[in-house]
Copies of this chain bind each other. A is one copy, B any other.
C-alpha cells in the first residue's frame, strides 16, 4: 500500500478512537512500526489533521477536517449530492422517486423525480406527510432513537384511508419489521392504489438524516417487483450515505 494510503488509514484510525491515544498504542492498533507511525502523525499534525496534546503527548483528531468540511459543504450541500442518486434510481425503476429530509421533527420532500409512465404517482416538492402513513415516515421512525419514536407514537394518529395503520402497537410491529429489513413498505397508507417503499439515509452516527423512496401504482407492483424496488431503494440510500459522509473504501495491501 502507498505511504499516503497508510497515512490516511492512520488518520481514520485516530479519528475512530474516542480518547486521546499514545504513540505506542496507535502503532499497535495500526500495525505499523512506532517510528513509521510517528513520522506519519507528525506529518498529519503539521497539516492540522492530527493534534497532539502538549501535556500528555497523546494524539487525537485535529481541526483541519472541520475547515475542509466547510468548504465541501459550501460546494456540495445535501441536495446537490442527493439529486443524481435519486435521478439514477428513477431511471432504473421508471417509478416516481423522492428524497425527503428530516428537519425540525418532520420529514420534508425536498426533491422528486417523476415516473415517465402515463399512470404514475405525483409527489410535490415541499410537501410534508405524516410519518405513520408513508413508507418514508416508517423508514425514518425505524431508525430514530426510541425516545423520539415513542414521543411520536404517543400522539393521536389520523387515518387517511381505510388502510392507514393508526394503532401504536401495530405500527411498532411494522417499524420493527422495517428496521430488521432496512426498508419500509406502505400500501394505501396515504392514497388508495399507491404502494411505496423507502430506505433511510443514515449519518455516520446511525441516525437518519432523510429518506429515499419510490412510489408506484399498486397495479404495477407484484411481490417480485416489490422486492426489486425494495433493494433498489436501499442501494440508493446507502450510496447516498456514502457519498455524503465519505464512508471509507478501505483497500488492504
Q: Which of A5-64 contact B (CB under 8 A)?
A: 5, 7-9, 11-12, 15-16, 18-20, 39-40, 43-49, 53-56, 58, 60-64
Q: Which of A52-85 contact B (CB under 8 A)?
A: 53-56, 58, 60-76, 78-79, 81
B15, B62, B248: the one contacting A246 at CB < 8 Å is B62
Q: A8-B46, A16-B71, A67-B247 are in contact. List 4 more A-B contacts (CB 8 A).
A: A4-B39, A62-B104, A66-B72, A70-B245
Asked if A252 is at the interface of the complex by the 8 Å CB criterion, the answer is: yes
Task: State how many copies of this chain the complex holds.
Answer: 2
Flag whether A207 is at the interface (Cβ < 8 A). yes
Q: Contact at A47–B205, with CB atoms within 8 Å?
A: no
CB <8 Å contact, A19 and B253: yes
**Is A243 on the interface with B (CB-CB < 8 A)?**
yes
Q: How large is the interface on A (under 10, 10 to 19, 20 to 34, 35 or more residues)?
A: 35 or more
- The answer on a CB contact under 8 Å between B5 and A67 is no
Instruction: Let me know if A125 is at the binding interface, CB within 8 A.
Output: yes
A61 close to B68 (CB less than 8 A): yes
- Complex contact A108–B61 (CB within 8 A): no
Interface 0/1 of A179-211, CB less than 8 Å to B:
000000000000000000000000111010000
- Tell me if A63 and B56 are in contact (CB < 8 A): no
A64 touches B103 (CB 8 A): yes
Taking beta carbons and an 8 Å cutoff, which residues of A are in contact with B?
2-5, 7-9, 11-12, 15-16, 18-20, 39-40, 43-49, 53-56, 58, 60-76, 78-79, 81, 101, 103-106, 108, 110, 125-126, 203-205, 207, 242-249, 251-253
Q: CB distance B66 to A62 under 8 Å?
A: no
Of chain B, the residue at the smallest CB distance from A61 is B72
Q: Is the CB of A40 within 8 A of B245?
A: no
Once the chains bind, are A63 and B246 in contact (CB under 8 Å)? yes
A48 near B249 (CB under 8 angstroms)?
Answer: yes
Inter-chain contact B205/A46, CB cutoff 8 Å: no
In the complex, chain B residues whose CB is within 8 Å of the CB of A16: 71
CB neighbours (8 Å) of A53 from chain B are: 252
- B43 to A5, Cβ gap below 8 A? yes
Question: Which residues on the B side are within 8 Å of A66 (C-beta)?
Answer: 65, 69, 72-73, 78-79, 101, 110, 244-246
